[in-house]
Structure 1
Amino acid sequence: MKIAVASCTKLQQINPQPVWLEILNEKPDVLVLAGDNIYLEHDHHDDPELLRAELDVLYKKQFAEPNFKSLLSDIRDRNAKLLAVYDDHDFLGNNRYGGDSSPALRDAARAAFVHAFGADVDGANIYRKLSAGPADIFLLDERYYRTEPATSAHDRDAILGAQQWDWFEKGLAASHANFVVVVSSTTFHRFGDESWEQYPTAFGRMRGLLQGRQGAMIVSGDVHRNALYDDSGVLEVVSSGVARKGLVFGAARKNYGILTFTEAAVNIELRGLKAGDRYNATIARSNWRLDQASDLYNG
């Protein structure tokens, strides 16, 4: 079973986007779009109708990009699965949170996302679980309920909200899959200016659920780089910058991940144009640590 992971797609910077054809050629069973699927031009909307209108236009343009369109058509033609979630740039704007905004504004952002992805979204709440081969995949909504760290750093329900936390914990407890993949739009560990570590109580809550669980991992985006990390005892796979330019030199990014599962192991291949964004590691479920991975490559 093969999962392709991508995030951070800015059509205003990279157009056309041939990287999607590389992912198409992998024929993934599941395509995960882990947020920032479009980029708002205006980060300070306070009018729900104007926000919805801009999001609708941007989604329409991204879905019309020929390579992206071909990938989504291939996914549907093969009855493969698409799992998508928003982050900040395709929700309310840079580092903005639904819980700090009016209900009408965050509802408009979520409605635009649901409209764009249609049948690939299950109801009003965009968080969901998918069982695929030996893995249970949990897709989290980390924008709608979230508030700034200054007000919720020590709230155990931070980031997800009480209802989503309850859904996730019950689903995780009921899972008997060999692997658990938790899709997080922002990184779990502190790679950039946003992460779960800004919310120590919620971070500890999630860590307590996943640490020591053989086959459990977090897959995240947001930071325009690829990375593997497990120093906290929780394995994190970061893949971000599928169609973005670098901040310093303005070079194109083509970062994406291919996770291939057997019943006993997962091969994690993170691809990118920069040597430092390329990884290849096979991790056995019985030795669930990066220092036990075979053929770990970065360079």
Structure 2
Amino acid sequence: MKHISVLLVLMVLFMGCKRKEEKQPLEKEKERPDFVVAFGSCNMPQEPNPFWDDVVAENPDVWIWGGDIVYADTDDVDRIRTIYAMQDTVQGYARLKAEVPIIGTWDDHDFGLNDGGYGFAVKKESQQVFLDFMGVPSDSERRNREGVYASHEFEMPEGKVKIIVLDTRYFRSDLIKDEDPKRRYKPNTEEGATILGDAQWDWLKGELANSDADFNLIMSSIQVLSGEHGFETWGNFPHEVQKLETMIVESGAKGVIILSGDRHISEFSRATITGLSYPLVDFTSSGLTHSYASFSGEPNSHRVGEVVSDKSYGIINLYFKDKEAEMKIMGDNGAVLQELKQTY
């Protein structure tokens, strides 16, 4: 009986310990994002792109081209078309294209002219080739208006995302050369100098003012908030920067985030805008197949964190309930090179 009593005591102690273990809270698994955006820019189809398998693995809801999809730099429209066709033969990209919606805009090198703007002689023809590459139907209204700007809405059970892609090439006024050898351009403050042109500005105003989306992402091929470096940037047209910021505030649009490319570096810029209830972030992701490897620094008073001069792409995880955007600069094999979280 003594042995049986001891055994019963041990069993009771064991069961008590087990119950205590079961009561211990399990480590909380990270909540899956409600919507995943992947984007990138500065891509040469003839060069290795190590990221397509990583992008597919992220299971994004959309891929956004941020410009310089290819490097054509020619007024030979057939040549531009041929180089786009090369991109479609890239195996990793073909897989992404088969699984994920592809949207986006162009920049100067796929437009056809380095640092080019409204004066490019074959911009109308180049536009049609771009729309062909993006799979825009022949009867789309985009085929009959100037420029490649567009908006796309994605509605989920948890909320809605609106993605606005701008055209910063077709209508852009002339850049002004800077006498400073360390800078390429200086601000153009002439009356009427523009990046978007009147028709696109009117369209953008309506897109923002009428948006009921929880997040509104604006893809600008060139940087908006980083305007001090002297290369291409919205900062070369300061009146346009002010106009955009004012329009965002007055629209009342929720969760506006700016995306950009062009620079062959990746970085986060963030600014406090009077009248806006949240900081405005400009997430630059560039480039996919080549980067500014010799980067040694440049001014950006709005920079958050450090510049990433390695090849990279961008990921934005959106959470509707928490109104949070988790932005990541991504390297090869899922490496997170830098991240920024912002609530709205």
Give distance in 2, aligned partners of 1:62 and 1:179.
Answer: 30
RMSD value over aligned CA atoms? 2.5
1:260 aligns with 2:317: yes
For the pair shown, which has the larger CA radius of gyration, 1 or 2? Answer: 2
Deviation at 1:130, TM superposition (A): 1.2
- How big is each residue's C-alpha offset from its partner over 1:243-269, in whole Å with a ceiling of 9 and x where there is no partner? 1144539xx943111111111111111
Moved runs in structure 1, 4+ residues, more than 4 A? 211-214
Give distance in 2, aligned partners of 1:155 and 1:258.
Answer: 38
| Paired residue type of 1:174 | N
Equivalent residues of 1:131, 1:137 under 8 A apart: yes
Matched with 1:292 is none
Distance of aligned partners of 1:111 and 1:218 in 2 relative to their CA distance in 1, 3 Å threshold: same
- How big is each residue's C-alpha offset from its partner over 1:98-143, in whole Å with a ceiling of 9 and x where there is no partner? x1233xx111211111122223895224211112243211111111
Equivalent residues of 2:113, 2:120 under 8 A apart: no
Please report the TM-score for the alignment, with normalisation by the length of structure 1: 0.80
| Paired residue type of 1:100 | G
1:73 aligns with 2:98: yes
Gaps of 5+ in 2: 1-34, 177-186, 274-279, 296-308
Matched with 2:111 is 91
Equivalent residues of 1:229, 1:235 under 8 A apart: yes
1:197 aligns with 2:223: no
Deviation at 1:156, TM superposition (A): 5.4
| Alignment of structure 1 residues 106-145 onto 2, 5 Å | 106-119=123-136, 122=140, 123-124=142-143, 125-133=147-155, 134-145=160-171
- How big is each residue's C-alpha offset from its partner over 1:131-177, in whole Å with a ceiling of 9 and x where there is no partner? 22432111111111112134964445711110010000011111122
- How big is each residue's C-alpha offset from its partner over 1:199-225, in whole Å with a ceiling of 9 and x where there is no partner? 011111002123596511110000111
Matched with 1:2 is 36
Matched with 1:146 is 172
Please report the TM-score for the alignment, with normalisation by the length of structure 2: 0.70
Equivalent residues of 2:67, 2:261 under 8 A apart: yes
Matched with 2:255 is 215
1:284 aligns with 2:343: yes
Equivalent residues of 1:152, 1:158 under 8 A apart: no
SS at structure 2 position matched to 1:230: strand
Matched with 2:294 is 248
Distance of aligned partners of 1:112 and 1:226 in 2 relative to their CA distance in 1, 3 Å threshold: same
Matched with 2:32 is none
Gaps of 5+ in 1: 76-80, 286-299
Give distance in 1, aligned partners of 2:82 and 2:69.
Answer: 13
Matched with 1:58 is 83
Equivalent residues of 1:154, 1:202 under 8 A apart: no
Distance of aligned partners of 1:30 and 1:254 in 2 relative to their CA distance in 1, 3 Å threshold: same
Distance of aligned partners of 1:91 and 1:74 in 2 relative to their CA distance in 1, 3 Å threshold: same
Moved more, 159-168 or 222-231: 222-231
Q: Give me the identity figure in percent.
A: 25
